[in-house]
Structure 1
Amino acid sequence: MRGVDLDLFDFDYDLTWMGFFLNADGTVYGRYGGRDADSADSRVSLAGLRYALEAALTRHRRADFPSAPPPTKPPRTVEQYPAARRLPERACIHCHQVYDLRRESLQAEGKWRLDELWVYPLPENIGLTLDVDRGDRVAGVAADSPAAHAGIQVGDRLLTIDDRPIASFADVQYALHRAPACGTLTITWQHGQETHQHQLPLAEGWRKTDISWRWSLRGVDPQPWVHGDDLSAEEKRALGLRAKRLAFRQGPFVSEPARRAGIRQNDIILGVDGKVLD
């Protein structure tokens, strides 16, 4: 990530892969990528990538598609974070380290907040499940959700969220990432031949989701020093555990603090500080 313009290549830096469709002048026509806590690839497909690419080409051909404004200041890069100065001069900076170095710099200034963790919310956070192969198509709407109250239905096509065009899961996540922590967002969609628009209310805490998969969390204090894969529902039942109870199997890398505490690979972690957690 050295030398990369963070304002142009603004994406979820915990991902293993992200695609941008952009013009030489910096106009971004779309994005492709994304994941959730369950899988690194369940939200993407070759068909979905092709669909997003075709949508980007359509936008590129449109004479009225807004171009990126000319830059008025030098690119913002990860090396500019004060915390980056501790790295060797030519050391590789991985994507997830953008979050690490940003957090460390903000913490040093006393400006970091816990809600900084809730980046790139899932569409499910507003009640939407998207078609993997056609990322602007609604595959599911959760009952009593903001999307349901707006009148969005299965099969509808999302057009824009806060004026950002939608063709992929990544487009939706980017728009949600830019939405306020509390307030409203404007969503436009197509139902049959009709176009609808609605302001979705965003309640406090709407951005929260399962972020246990994020590599950048490993540097957040206090560090738990344990990690691994969740037990399946069948494994929990066999142990007499509730389906939602915290239960995961310690992975092959056992940190030194965890080893000193007696934890070993394949141990099952059931709680923290004597507390049972869901």
Structure 2
Amino acid sequence: MARRDAKFAPLLDQFVCVRLVECYGLDRSLFQFDSSLTMVSFFMNADGQVYGRYGSRAGRDDAELVSAEGLRAAMQGALALHRLWEQDRKAVEAKLVGKTAKESPWSRYEDIPLMKGRVMPAIRDKHKCYHCHWVQGGEILSRRREGRDIPDQWLWMYPLPDLLGVRLDPRTRSTVASVERGSAADKAGLQKGDEILEMEGQPILSLADVQWVLHRAEDGRQLPILVRRSDGKQTLQLELPQGWRRRGDISWRPIEWMLRGEVLGFHMKRMNDREKRRHHVNVDGPVYWIERVAPAWNKNANHAARKAGLKKGDILIAIDDRPPPATMSLFLAWIAQETKPGQKIRITVLRQGRRREFTYALK
């Protein structure tokens, strides 16, 4: 369709376009991206150096943060960067070093322990395909089963700059649309209308490039940001507070299915105050409605919850005599970071107004 668009065609003619639809053998030290996306574009040269990425997502709406205008702007930026690379390769390559990094111990999708055997059905005579949306969960659950810590970066991956108080216009490469008063971005001096040219010394072609830098940045440090304003260029310092990622929402990511169904054994959603009143739940703090218990046919699920007696419609009010986490995102983080395979937990629920307790082992 883009080929038939008069605004895209002249740009596409300057690229060699390759569409990847299967990921067998893909080099993950080069092709690193947010596996929760429905589409991602890489801009790179023939030497395998990444100029930038395009593709972002904030929730279940996969089109909110992408636009034809934004993609065209990123493509134009990539072409301009390539022309600079042809003129001075050494200088440009020095800025591109941070565009890739070895983040995972598993260099290919098929090497991730939990991904083995998990493929999408074959289409006609083609190979079966690894489902990209399962990659984050596959890595986290594999690491969890090995008894290794799971850092926040693995859960709150590719965070949006909104968490730091700055929103970018998705119709542009990286122009600031708004800055929240009193936020980290505001304290750094970012202003509406600023065009972000570089972060951490890396050229910025899109919101996805900003997310890439934030994804890899450590808490408690300052990120240098080069911006262009009407009065020229200026370098700002953006401070990353401790725990800033945890303000984000990860409940829309596919990993929530794996953590809830395969580890916990049931799926739930938080009840709001109105729902609590309607169901006569007189409990302070967060409570969760159990929407479904993992069915017997799901071979990857934790069936211990169902066998212990938990049922759809139960209202979860405590775990080991403590209130459950305050948000769905923190609940998922608790499962991933604070529990171990085989650990026994005691779930307290309300069923038809009566308290019931169930003890079983997590998977």
The TM-score by the shorter chain falls in which range?
Answer: 0.7 to 0.9
Distance 1:32 1:192 in 2: 26
Match of 1:16 in 2: 38
Query: Residue 231 of structure 1: CA displacement?
Result: 9.4
Query: Residue 227 of structure 1: CA displacement?
Result: 5.2
Are the structure 2 counterparts of residues 120 and 258 from structure 1 closer, same or farther at C-alpha, using a change threshold of 3 Å?
A: farther
Scaled by the length of structure 1, the TM-score of the pair is 0.79
Q: Which moved more, 1:108-117 or 1:199-208?
A: 108-117
5 Å-filtered alignment, 1:74-153, equals 76-87=107-118, 91-115=128-152, 116-153=154-191
Query: Residue 78 of structure 1: CA displacement?
Result: 1.9
Higher percent of residues as helix: 2
Distance 2:44 2:278 in 1: 51
Distance 2:157 2:72 in 1: 26
Query: Residue 130 of structure 1: CA displacement?
Result: 0.5
Q: Which of 53, 72, 76 lines up with 2:75 in the alignment?
A: 53
Match of 1:211 in 2: 250
Counterpart AA for 1:219: M
Distance 2:293 2:144 in 1: 27
| SS of alignment partner, residue 220 of structure 1 | helix
Give structure 2 stretches of 5+ with no counterpart: 1-22, 120-126, 280-284, 296-304, 328-363
Distance 2:143 2:311 in 1: 35
Match of 1:173 in 2: 211
1:53-95 CA deviation, whole Å, 9 max, x = no partner? 11111111112352478x9x9x92122334444557x652111
Are the structure 2 counterparts of residues 143 and 104 from structure 1 closer, same or farther at C-alpha, using a change threshold of 3 Å?
A: same
CA radius of gyration, larger in:
2
Match of 2:267 in 1: 226
Q: Which of 195, 200, 206 lines up with 1:157 in the alignment?
A: 195
Scaled by the length of structure 2, the TM-score of the pair is 0.62
Are the structure 2 counterparts of residues 262 and 121 from structure 1 closer, same or farther at C-alpha, using a change threshold of 3 Å?
A: same
Q: Does the 8 Å CA contact 1:83/1:102 hold for their aligned counterparts?
A: yes
Distance 2:271 2:141 in 1: 32
Cα root mean square deviation, aligned = 3.6
1:102-134 CA deviation, whole Å, 9 max, x = no partner? 223322332232523121111112211000100
Q: Does the 8 Å CA contact 1:162/1:175 hold for their aligned counterparts?
A: yes
Match of 1:64 in 2: 88
Are the structure 2 counterparts of residues 134 and 200 from structure 1 closer, same or farther at C-alpha, using a change threshold of 3 Å?
A: same
Query: Residue 194 of structure 1: CA displacement?
Result: 1.8
| SS of alignment partner, residue 237 of structure 2 | strand
Are the structure 2 counterparts of residues 258 and 183 from structure 1 closer, same or farther at C-alpha, using a change threshold of 3 Å?
A: farther
Distance 2:233 2:287 in 1: 45
Counterpart AA for 1:100: G
Q: Which of 164, 174, 189 lines up with 2:227 in the alignment?
A: 189
Distance 2:194 2:73 in 1: 16
Counterpart AA for 1:107: R
| SS of alignment partner, residue 266 of structure 2 | coil
Give structure 1 stretches of 5+ with no counterpart: none
Q: Does 1:199 align with 2:237?
A: yes
Higher relative contact order (CA 8 A, sep 6+): 1
Q: Does the 8 Å CA contact 1:79/1:85 hold for their aligned counterparts?
A: yes
Aligned residues: 265
